[in-house]
């Protein structure tokens, strides 16, 4: 009973903290939005003076000429920047290529292991017109193993446990002395 009340209190506290955090986040977001709007207005007032539209046709044409001159200047600056960026990127690529050449190491793609029999490999390399059998086990000679004396002696000795059992006790020791002398 007391445990469920405690769990409810913890859950209620979590919900309350969550709602307070959400309220604080909403006010911070609103402040940020207002700050951005004022920054935008300040920037526009500094860089873009208000447009005065003159009444006569000659003044409108003069205004258009001035605006076109400003546009041309901005386009020239944009073009110069693009050329600088392209030149820098080309130099960067050349430097990277020189670096790879100096290292002497090129990135090799990871190879996958392919399970293929020797016959399938030869068929893939030589084509289907060549029929070569690469059954290596068929070409092996069978060699009969000759029994050496050591191997025969080892076979004759037999199990080592029998020798230990024979030598255990006084009779085994007596046999050892008799066989040595």
Distance CA 52, CA 63 (A): 9
Contact, 134 vs 119, CB < 8 A? Answer: yes
Residues 6+ positions from 132 with CB-CB distance below 8 Å: 119, 122, 126
Distance CA 79, CA 87 (A): 12
Highest mean pLDDT among 14-18, 112-116, 146-150: 14-18
Query: What DSSP string runs through 16-62?
Result: HHHHHHHHHHHHHHHHHHHHHHHHHHHHHHHHSPPP---SSHHHHHH
pTM: 0.30
3-state secondary structure of 160: helix
Give percent above pLDDT 70 in the chain.
66
- Residue at token pair 């002497």: 104
Per-residue pLDDT at 19 exceeds 90: yes
Classify each residue of 152-168 as buried b or exposed e, where b means 16 or more C-beta atoms within 10 Å of its C-beta. Answer: eeeeeeeeeeeeeeeee
pLDDT tens-digit map of 120-172: 777 777 776 666 666 666 666 666 666 566 666 666 555 556 666 666 666 65
How far, in whole angstroms, is CA 84 from its chain's centroid?
A: 33
At 32, the pLDDT band (50, 70, 90 cuts) reads: very high
Largest Cα span, the chain: 145
Kindly state the tokens that stand for 104. 């002497």
């Amino acid at each position: 009973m007391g445990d469920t009340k405690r769990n409810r209190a913890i859950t209620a506290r979590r919900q309350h903290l969550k709602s307070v955090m959400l309220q604080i986040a909403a006010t911070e977001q609103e402040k940020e939005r207002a700050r951005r709007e004022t920054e935008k207005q300040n920037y526009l007032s500094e860089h873009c003076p208000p447009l005065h539209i003159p009444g006569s046709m000659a003044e409108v044409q003069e205004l258009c000429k001035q605006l076109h001159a400003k546009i041309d200047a901005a386009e020239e600056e944009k073009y110069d920047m693009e050329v600088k960026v392209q030149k820098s990127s080309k130099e960067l690529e050349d430097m990277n290529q020189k670096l790879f050449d100096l290292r002497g190491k090129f990135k090799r793609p990871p190879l996958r292991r392919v399970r293929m029999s020797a016959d399938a490999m030869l068929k893939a390399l030589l084509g289907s017109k060549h029929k070569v059998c690469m059954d290596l086990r068929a070409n092996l000679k069978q060699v009969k193993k000759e029994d050496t004396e050591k191997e025969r002696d080892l076979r004759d000795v037999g199990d080592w446990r029998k020798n230990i059992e024979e030598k255990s006790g006084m009779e085994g020791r007596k046999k050892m002395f008799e066989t040595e002398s």
